[in-house]
Amino acid sequence: MSAPNLIPHIRNTLASLRPAERKVADMVLGDVDFAMRASITELAQRADVSEPSVTRFCRAIGAHGLRDFKMLLAQSVAGGLPYASTAVARDDDLQTLFDKVSEAAVQGITHARGALEPSAVEAAISAIATARRVYFFGVGSGSGLAVQDAALRFLRLDIAASAFTDGHLQRLYAGLMEPGDVAFAISHSGRSVEVNESIQIAKERGATTIGLTNVGSRLAWLVDIPLLLRVPNAIDPNTPGVSRIVHLCIMDALAIGVALRLGPKTLEKMRHAKARLSQEAGPPSSDTP
């Protein structure tokens, strides 16, 4: 096994790994930067396994131990981690900059399309289409924006959807949820305390919980329906971050899937709403300033 191929090698061996080893693999693929610098104790805690399981994982993928694994992982990243290593160089011109950022986004979406489990996507669509109301939880400039956009998309489908990006409000509204409601969390890292606590509260209240997050994250283990990705963290500040774009694309696909599930009546409501907005807007004004 050559060093630059370690990451795809881990992906290819997932099916053959033991459950605990697979947890470590998912954690590594979800946060390569953390895996390269963490101690064996930190790796075990993040993956929710024992330290010997981390060692067994390293050997299962062909490394002699943790130190050898970290060296191979670092060489793999240096050799080119798909769409996460497209760093913008100081001497890149504007055209090259746009090319690198665009290519990173395209590769990220393509990779996400292959990573999502179809049965989980189907379950998420079914839950949202039949929900009494849907609350979206997310924090930060990435996930916070994604949940706000998601709520607007589903509101257009006449679904009672709301987005909350404040931790206090997330916990408050999660505590008001009931069976028949859906709590949908979006978190790249899956480690947000506010989001995870809100999901736990909603689950205790009987709501169906959905999470769009990286494999191996804390959130992935909390929700009823995990929509799992393997989107690496940006390696440095000049590396394009694609998680936000990937999340928006997936939410768009889910909204379309829900619209198709709800059928012609929902589409007709959307047409009437758009027509009313056009009437209220009226013709362009001919007044001059």
240 pLDDT more than 70: no
Of the ranges 28-42, 138-152, 260-274, which one carries the lowest mean pLDDT score? 260-274
Residue 194 identity: E
**Nearest residue to 26 (alpha-carbon basis) of 220, 280, 215:** 215
The pLDDT of residue 142 is 86
The pLDDT of residue 85 is 46
The pLDDT of residue 83 is 44
pLDDT, mean of residues 25-39: 84
Local confidence band at 213 (pLDDT 50, 70, 90 cut-offs): very high
20 pLDDT more than 80: yes
pLDDT, mean of residues 254-275: 82
The pLDDT of residue 91 is 80
pLDDT, mean of residues 96-112: 80
The pLDDT of residue 1 is 44
6 pLDDT more than 50: yes
d(CA 125, CA 118): 11
Phi and psi of 34, rounded to 5°? Answer: -65, -45
What SS3 class is residue 74?
A: helix
119 pLDDT more than 80: yes
Average pLDDT, the chain: 85
Of the ranges 195-199, 241-245, 254-258, which one carries the lowest mean pLDDT score? 241-245
Reported as a single tens digit per residue, the pLDDT across 53-93 is 999 999 999 888 899 898 888 776 654 444 444 566 778 78
Local confidence band at 258 (pLDDT 50, 70, 90 cut-offs): very high
d(CA 58, CA 54): 6
SS3 content of the chain, % helix, strand, coil (to 5): 60, 10, 30
Contact in structure between 133 and 161 (CB atoms under 8 Å): yes
pLDDT, mean of residues 144-149: 95
